[in-house]
Amino acid sequence: MKLKSILAKYQKYLLVIAIVISSIAVSIQSSEGKVKLVLRDYPFLIFLMVVISSFLVIIYIQITKRKIETLSDQIRNQSKTKSEEIEVLLHELTERQREVYNLILSGKTNKEIMSELFI
């Protein structure tokens, strides 16, 4: 659990580190019209750096996904609470008030509501 909180806290740095590692892995040098990988003599090191940077990006995505799920759950819980509160308030409305409320929900303007309800 502690690792998750640490990763979440420093999530923004994961992407930066991944980009830096990837950039180093594929960095090039040019001399005499030829372009070569700086680490061309170390293909395993290039592979390892690309794998590590990919792993960091995956961790970043997973953290973001968990944050979105948590926020979605919070919104759902709040909307359920609000929905229950609204239901209680709606039951307290008179029949005429409920008619006006339903017309408002259907998108009617004040003039349309007035003409429909003969106000």
The pLDDT score that the predictor gives to residue 1 is: 66
Could you tell me the two tokens for 88?
């209680």
The Cα-based distances of 25 to 14, 49, 52, 79, 109 in angstroms read: 16, 6, 11, 48, 63
Per-residue pLDDT reduced to its tens digit, 6-52: 888 888 898 899 999 989 888 888 887 788 888 888 889 999 999 99
Our count of domains for the chain comes to 1
Decide if pLDDT at 58 tops 90: yes
Q: Domain range spanning residue 47? A: 2-116
The pLDDT score that the predictor gives to residue 12 is: 84
The pLDDT score that the predictor gives to residue 52 is: 95
pTM: 0.59
**Percent of the chain with pLDDT strictly greater than 90:** 21
